[in-house]
Structures are given as C-alpha cells and as structure tokens.
Structure 1
Amino acid sequence: MTRKKRPDIAAALQQAGGLREGASRQVAKDSGVPEAHVYGVGSFFHLLAEPDVELRVCTGLTCQLAGADALLVAARAQGIEAVGCSCLAACDAPVPLLRGREVLPAMTLDDVRGVALEALRSPAGEHWQRAVGPELELDASASRLLHAPSYEGASFAKARALGPQGVIDLIARSGLQGRGGAGFPAGIKWRSVAAQAEMQRYVVLNADEGEPGTFKDREVMLRRPDAVLEGLAIAALTVGAKEVYLYLRGEFDRPWRAMSDAIAEFERRGTFGEIAFHMHAGHGAYICGEETALIEALEGKRGMPRIKPPYPTEKGLWGKPTLVHNVETIGCVPAILERGAEWFEALGRTGAGTKLYCVSGHVVRPGTYELPLGATLDELVEAAGGYTVGLKAFSPGGASSGFLPAAERGRPLDFKALAEVGSMLGSAGVVVLGEGVDMAWAARQQLLFFEEESCGQCAPCRIGTRFVRERLDAYIAARDGGDAAAMASALSQVADVAWEMDEGSICGLGMTAPLPLTSAMRHFPSDFPGSSTGDFPGSAKLG
C-alpha cells in the first residue's frame, strides 16, 4: 500500500522552538495535520519535547569515566537548565555538551565553572583535532578518510558504464556487509530493491549514529562527504531511484554542514544528473537508528520500528521499495567501483574489506581507526597509542554488545567471531575499561541508556528495561550495604525477563538491552558476589 506523504511535522516544531505552549496547535493549523498527531510526534523526540533545556551533558559510559556527573552538577549550580543525555557521538573527546544543537567537545570542570551558558567555549575549538588512522596507502584503504575529497564523480561514471546488473554483481562479489550493525550483505539488498515490480524507489542514508561508543560515521561525513554522496548516487542509479533521503541525527551540526556543502558542490557541477538529495534532521531519538523507525520518522511520524516482514527493500519509505544504508557502508562503494571487488575482498582478514573501529575509554588516543576487518583489540589499541591502565573489560560494538573480559583481547573483531561468544561487532564502537572499574556500575550506565531510549512500543522492552535496571540498583544497594539475603534475591528474575525481552521485542533494542548486565555477570562474577540470575533456554545468546 502506498502511503501518502505528510508534512515534516518535526521540522515545523523545531522552527516553532519545540513543543512549547500553543506550538502543536499552530503547527496543526498550518499543516492540516491533526493536533493530536503533531503533539504525538513532538513528545516522542527529546530535542522537541524539552524546549526549555539549555544544556545537555553526555552521560554515556565513556563520558561517565571522564567525570560527566560532575560537569552536570557544576552547570546546574550556575543556574543553567541542564540535563544528562544519551551519547553525543563524541566519545573521543569527553565530556561533550550540547547547547541547542551545537556540540561542545572535550569540556572540563574548568570550562564550565563560573561561565555563562552563552559564553561556553570548547577548549578544542571549532576544528578540534580528532585522532584518525593509521594512515593507510590508497591501495589498502576503503574509507579513505585521510585522502582529499573529489567531486569529479569518476566512480559514478564507471557505474553508469557498467549498468545496474554489472554494479550489483560487483557489490555482491566484493563481500561488502552492512557496517551499521547487522552485517547484512549489501549485494542482496541492492538486488532485492532492483527486482521489485514497483518502479518508484528510494535510497535512504542512515546517519542517525547513536550507539554509545560510536562516532565513525561522524568522521566519514566530516572528512569524505563526497564519497558518501557518490556512493548514494551510485546506489540510486543502480536500483532505479531518483530521490535520496539523508537522515542525520539532530546533534550532528557540523556533519550537517559538511554534507549540505558537498550536495551544493555536486549540484553546481551537475555530476549526478537528475538524482535529488533531501536532507532530514533527527530530533534526539536513538531508536531512529533502526531502519524502519527511521523511515517512520521520515514519513512525519513517531520513530517506532515496524514489524518485519515486509522489509524496506519491498515496502519502505511511503510504501515503496527502499534501499537503506549506513554511512560507512555506502562510503565504501566508490572505492569498490574504482578498484574492483577482488581488491576490496582481499583487504580484510576474516571478512571482506577494512573496517572503521571507534575506540574510547582507557586508551591514549581515542579515535577512529581503519584496520582490516578481523583485527584484534590489542591491534586497535596499539594504533590508538596503547592502554592507559591494565585492561579489565571491553565492549566490542557499543552498549548493545555487552562486555567481554581481557581474555578475549585476541579475538577477531568481526561479525562471526564475536557472535561465537555471545557478543557482536555491531557498530564497532569499542569502549575499553581498565582495572578498577566496577562492572556492576558499568552495566548500570548502559542499562540507563536503554531504559531512556526505549520507544515504548513493545511491553517487554518498555517494562523490561526499567525492571532490569531497578533490580541491578537493588543489588548494588544490597551489596554495598552488606545485605546477603537481598543480594541473593535481587537479580533472581533477570534471566527470565531477559528471555521475554529477547522473544517479545519487535526490534534489537529490547532484544539486547539486558546484555550489559547478563554478560557482566557471566564474565565478572567477582563484581557480583552473592548474586544469581537463574537460568533459561537461550542464555548463551544473552552473555
């Protein structure tokens, strides 16, 4: 069924200053959309629902390690309307603050104390130095972050010469997998969209990077917006789409400018012919990183995941076949067109291609590093200058991947090897935790994130995220108070609830939300003395 295009309600509310008194009524009047729908959209997104918040302090795990709570207290002490917020994709420069939609990276207590809101300045400056490396030769790099942008469209011209079937075969032979989390073969997606009988098709860029510990897509858009846009144009040409939608998270002010400028340059040159690019800003909802939730948001609705099937390749944006790709994935496409499928496949160690890994936490130079797919944690941290303290634990793929112990430091960081130990590569947002970190505390930080970012559509997720976090709070209180009986019972139902969340949730958020706790308990029992989660079928999947 074809869905009717709606006005961009969220953008209209943003222009109105958020969900202030009378805003939903005025937007409804101007757009012809019922006020209840307008309010429903506005109340869903953090950046619209809380218009009076002046400052947001990232309280993700990496930023908590760097003292985020102290910055939040300091800001409030000065009368600033400040709140904690989910990861701002600046884990390489903790602690970032969000003023309006402007990210201020690497802020410290000295930068906040005694400084008025409007006078806050990041010590890193507008063009803060971000660690990216190691610098690879052109022959060994698929993302090419350290190479100069090009607006000639040479790979697009090659795609036109190859024709749709030739390009699809090339992408399939390359072994390119989705770099956003799922690792789904790109060639299968392209072939599916191209094979649909419906001729109105769309290409969508998923740039709603919100997984804690992840910031690689930010770097790709800042450094190589040309490659992202050329990859999107090649995809559109190949699957028969005339329109491309770019969905960037609302906190990406600088990537937004970089992508907008690159679109303008390509349009000035006429490089991609009649292919049209449309920019769309998110408004603060992690769940919109899930492709169907993102599509719902693009359609002017609350960003809630759809039940699949049908998949977006069959019925996506406005009910039409839609190819959705992550920034890193689509950014590899021009290099594959230029150098060939066999070249890309040979770059990897345990899978095709190179991989952009983000690393933060207890390392010398947090940043984005391009390494062969299947590199180990020790290799990644060596590129980042080494560990600052002895290694205790790490998350290999953001909060959704749970925690692994130091004993797994030699395991390939790839899709298969991590799945074998109940984890996942996910977004490759690697967070390193040194000796001395309480894993119950670390798990709690991740559980708070999932509780806050659950869209509330599924009861197992909506209720389960809160329940699991509350039970961990009860355990920590009992442990710190020496109450052995309460320690023994506090987490006894977690396994059952985790199973229900895995079985009953529509999307991956609810399925993986308990993993930080279940994996921490499995691998670090000394941090959970006197506790038990019970057991249940499928426990290996949950850590």
Structure 2
Amino acid sequence: MQKKGAQRERILHLLEEEGGVTEDVVRRISLETGVPEADIWGTGLFYTLVSKPGKRVRVCDGLSCRIKGSDELFSKLRDAGKECEPVSCLGQCDRAPATLDEDLEQVCYGVEARGIVPDDPELPMNLGGPVRDSYSSLAKARETGSDAVIAEIEAAKLQGRGGAGFPAHIKWKGVRGQKETERYVICNADEAEPGTFKDREIILRQPHLLLEGLAIAAYAVEAKDICIYIRGEFTSERRMIEKALEAASEKISDFTWTIYNGHGAYICGEETALIESMEGKRGMPRLKPPYPTEYGFRGKPTLMHNVETAACVPAIVERGGEWFKDLGKTEPGTKLYCVSGHVNKPGVFELPLGVTLDELVEVAGGYDGEPVAFSPGGPSSGFLPISRRDVPLDFGHLSKEGSMLGSAGLVVLNDSVDMAKATGWQLDFFERESCGQCAPCRIGTRYLRRQVDSFIGEGDPDALEFAEDVGWEMEEGSICGLGMVAAKPLESAMKYFPEAFGSRSKQ
C-alpha cells in the first residue's frame, strides 16, 4: 500500500537525478517518497532514459536517419568501442543521421538545417524573423477579455497542430465551463513523432511566442498554473525555455510555471499518457471519457495544447481570427511542415495549410533522386505513392486518402529505398513504443514486425497472409491512437507498392 503523503510525482525526477533504476536507488526513493518499491520499479523501467543506469551514445534509427546511414554509423561507433544503442526518432531529421552523446546533447552528422522560411512578418510564427518578446498580444487579451479571446480563436478555426486537428476553441470552452476553479494549462512539448521537428524550431527560435500563447490560453480559461512537458532528449530546448521564462518573468508573473521532463516514451505524446507521466506513473493512456478538459492533471480541468498550436495564438489575438483563417489554402491558417528524407534542403517551412507535395518540396530545394513515395505525417500516416503528389497536405484531404497529416512530419523516399525494409523500420518503431496496455497492440505490433522481417529474410509472401486481419484487430481493440494506426505502414505499403511484397530471394 502507498503510504499517506507519498510524493509520487517526484519519482521520475529523482530517478533522473540518480542516473537510473538500481536496487539502491529504488530503495532510497521509496524511503524518501513513501511510494512502494514495486511501483518505482514498474514506473522507472517503463521509460528508456531512466530504465538503465550508465551513460551511452544513442543513435537514431528513425526512417529519415536510416535512409541517411544511421545503421552504418551505429556500427562504426560500436566498432570504435562506444557504448551505444539504437533509439527512436530524436527530432533531428533534417540533420540526419543524428545521435545523442552520453550527456543527452545532440550530435548531428548530416547537413545543417537549411530550410527555415525567411523573415516574413505576415506569417503567424515567422521563425526566420526577430525574436518576438513584447507580449503585446497578452496585454491585448487582458484588455478585450477572455470571452473575446475565445471568440477570436473560434473565428480563426484553429485546429490542433499536434496530430488530431481537433478545434482548439472547443477545448477552451470545455475547460472554461467547468465548475472546478483549480485548472491547468499544459503544453505538450514531447515532440517524438518520427519525421517531426517543428516544435524544436519554435522553442529555439521563438520561445516567447510559445510562452505568450500559453499565457493567453491560461488567461482565457481562468487557469493559474501552466506546465510545460518537454521531451527529455531536448536538453538545449529546455535551457531555452528556462532562459525565456526568466527574461519574461515580470510580464507573466501572475501564472505559476513548471517544467516537466519527459523520460523517453513516445506514448507520452498522447495527452492522457502525458498526464499519467506528470503524476509519476507509467505513461499509459486513460480510457476516455472523461476527457482532460473535465478530469485531467491531478483530477482537475486541463487544457492541453501542442507547441505549434499555442504559438499560433498570439498572432490570432493581435490580428484577428478571420485574418488567420484566410491565410490557409484549403483549411484555415498556416502550418509548419517538416520535410526530410530525399530532398535537397530539409527543414521546417511555414506555408498555407493545404499546399501540395510538389509545392512543399520546391521550397525544400527539390527532390533528391527519383521520388517514389512519401509519408505525410510520420509512421502513423503510412505511405502514399508519388502519384498522390497533388493531394492537398491538410487534415481533411489526407484523411480521405486513408492517411493523415498528423504533425506534418513529411519524409520523401526515392527509388533507392526498399519499401519492404522501410515498412519494417516503421513497424520496429511501433513495437518499441507500444506501452503494452492493450493486448491487440502489444501482441500485434510484435507480430507484424516479425512477419515482415520473416518475409524480408525468407522471401515468403505467405508470411503476411494474416497481416490485414491483425491490423483490424489492433484498430478495433486498442485504447489509444498508437494501436489504431500501428498497422498503417504495412497496410499502405502493401496496397500501393505490391511489387515490394512479391516473391524475393533470401536476403
């Protein structure tokens, strides 16, 4: 039984300070917090950054890094005597192949990021422009009142920029309408969808835009506490947020700000899993309803937004919802598109929501080689053939294609890529990052990955005979989105690239 007054929320922070899970560390933390040792073991072993003590080099094996030679880099580092391990996407896809050194600092062996849109004051985020730290939009929000602010967010038709595209104003109204007066605003900065690195750029280039957007949201929903949950691998980004908070302390002092580190679990990008992690538990998604707007962090109404969503807010307040809405091409507003893989100038580009692949890649310096496929929004979106290059890259049109925009982490693949192997890489990711809560996801991700590996190794197309059935079971029987889409890479690749899954000789 957990002792009265146990400080469960401190568990992960203490494990991080102690360097990882060991018997002695667990015993000390249990005595200090009152949390049973078994619970600390169960929580600590869930998170890759604290599950194993000792320092090591972490080599990204995401799709963008693998096609740029991360497997070869891993072998070289290991042969040189480095303690190293492969890890999921590090959010440095434009600089592939990427690694983290022993102190979790980024080391990139590829090109420098070269694709940031130039200074354009007409863009809501304008990542290439001067730092915007006046907090004039927050001042305007306070002058016009919270009702007017929410009305502008609704007029802008702002959709969540983290994946699902859910209307932001519905969340704001949901939290604002709760009887409970203790409320929280949480920023989900746990950017871990492979192919995605836009939040990284916002934090490094326009950190005050993020803080101002969160402050406006908190003002509008009458919350006093703002929490930023940032990916544990983002050490430079955390320092930038801390620096910005210090610089803006007088302008945002009426809010209590707290930064939480993630600890290496992709699943914590799901909003309720993130809350579980903040509460010192394993990051396992909750059954919904209730939704976080009713029952969120510490059981209180909680507004959660992605970094990009929050960063859109100041410009909407300053220039109006209609102005923002009209910036889009097929859907409202601009979008930060991340482009990597086989393009000449990978990077982040702020463009009207709904541009096509060719329009986006033109800004990214053109295709590198002959393109055959692209993944519009990370592994969760599967693959589309280059023949779909004219489909608007927005939430609605991609959904009709059986894909999704997600966080707009777009990866282009040319004809040098074996699509069966690329599919296997994406399935590796889902197997590794499944939290294990739902049997269809836990078993299905492993089964699909093993069957694809068997097909590649043995050349037997019958290895994939039941793939479609397993994918259906996963989609229907999983609590959260990970299990629902984990079969998407295989299903889409088999649909659009059947030649990659025909008979082949043993590899």
TM range (shorter): over 0.9
Aligned to 1:310: 290
2:93 to 70, 73, 91: 91
Provide the residue aligned with 2:30 in structure 1.
Answer: 28
Cα shift readout 1:156-212 (whole Å, capped 9, x = no counterpart)? 011111211111111011010000000000011101100011111000000000011
Q: Does 1:492 align with 2:462?
A: no
The residue type paired with residue 281 of structure 1 is N
Deviation at 1:338, TM superposition (A): 0.8
Does the residue aligned with 2:94 lie in a helix, a strand or coil?
Answer: coil
Match runs of 1:420-459 below 5 Å? 420-459=400-439
Q: Is the 8 A contact 2:186 2:226 kept in 1?
A: yes
Q: Residue in 1 aligned with 2:310?
A: 330
Report deviation, 1:134: 2.8
Equivalent in 279, 282, 299 of residue 262 of structure 2: 282
The 1:21–1:75 alpha-carbon spacing in structure 2 relative to 1, beyond 3 Å, is farther
Instruction: Pick one of 466, 474, 488 that aligns with 2:446.
Output: 466
Determine helix, strand or coil for the equivalent of 2:145. Answer: helix
CA distance in 2, matches of 1:306, 1:131: 39
For residues 53 and 273 of structure 1, do their structure 2 counterparts lie closer, same or farther at Cα, with a shift above 3 Å needed? closer
Match of 1:148 among 107, 112, 130: 130
Q: SS of the counterpart of 2:251?
A: coil
Q: State yes or no: 1:509 paired with 2:482.
A: yes
1:70 aligns with 2:72: yes
Q: Which amino acid aligns with 1:134?
A: V
Deviant stretches of 4+, over 6 Å: none
Identify if the C-alpha distance between structure 1 residues 37 and 232 changes in structure 2 by more than 3 Å, giving closer, same or farther.
Answer: same
Please tell me the residue identity of whatever aligns with 2:26.
S
Letter in 1 for 2:180: E
Counterparts of 2:257 and 2:503, CA distance in 1: 57
- Preserved contact between residue 7 and residue 33 of structure 2 (Cα < 8 Å): no
Say if 1:457 and 1:99 are closer, same or farther in 2 by CA, change over 3 A: same
Determine which of 474, 477, 495 is the counterpart of 1:522. 495
**Where does 1:408-427 land on structure 2 (aligned, <5 Å)?**
408-427=388-407
Quote how far apart the aligned CAs of 1:136 are.
5.4
- In structure 1, list runs of 5 or more residues that go unmatched: 109-123, 480-485, 532-543
Distance 1:150 1:393 in 2: 38
1:301 corresponds, among 281, 293, 300, to: 281
Pairwise CA distance, 1:530: 5.0
* Residue 184 of structure 2: aligned partner: 202
Aligned mates of 1:471, 1:7 — CA distance in 2: 40
Map Cα deviations across residues 374-428 of structure 1 (whole Å, 9 max, x no partner).
Answer: 0011111100100110110000001110000010111100001001110000010
SS of equivalent residue, structure 1 residue 502: helix
The Cα of 1:272 is off from its aligned counterpart by 2.0
Residue 273 of structure 1 deviates from its aligned partner by 3.5
* RMSD of aligned residue pairs (Cα, Å): 1.5
Cα deviation 1:246-294 (Å, max 9, x = unaligned): 0001000111011110011111xx1123201101111100000000000
Contact kept? 1:4, 1:318, Cα under 8 Å = no
CA distance in 2, matches of 1:449, 1:171: 35
Do the aligned partners of 1:57 and 1:85 also contact (CA within 8 Å) in 2? yes
Q: Which residue does 2:223 correspond to in 1?
A: 241
Q: Distance in 1 between matches of 2:483 and 2:79?
A: 36
Q: Which letter maps to 1:378?
A: D
Q: CA 1:61–1:236 in structure 2 vs 1: closer, same or farther (change >3 Å)?
A: same
- Quote how far apart the aligned CAs of 1:53 are: 4.5
Partners of 2:278 and 2:131 lie apart in 1 by: 29
- C-alpha separation between the residues in 1 aligned to 2:164 and 2:422? 24
User: CA offsets, 1:23-53, max 9 Å, x none?
Assistant: 1111111112111111111101001012234
Amino acid at match of 2:49: L
Query: Identical aligned pairs, as a percentage?
Result: 53
2:117 to 113, 125, 134: 134
For residues 205 and 462 of structure 1, what CA distance do their matches in structure 2 show? 28
Q: In structure 2, which of residues 217, 237, 251 is the aligned counterpart of residue 255 of structure 1?
A: 237
The CA distance in 2 between the partners of 1:58 and 1:103, in whole Å, is 13
* Letter paired with 2:310: I
Name the CA distance, whole Å, in 1 between partners of 2:253 and 2:245. 12
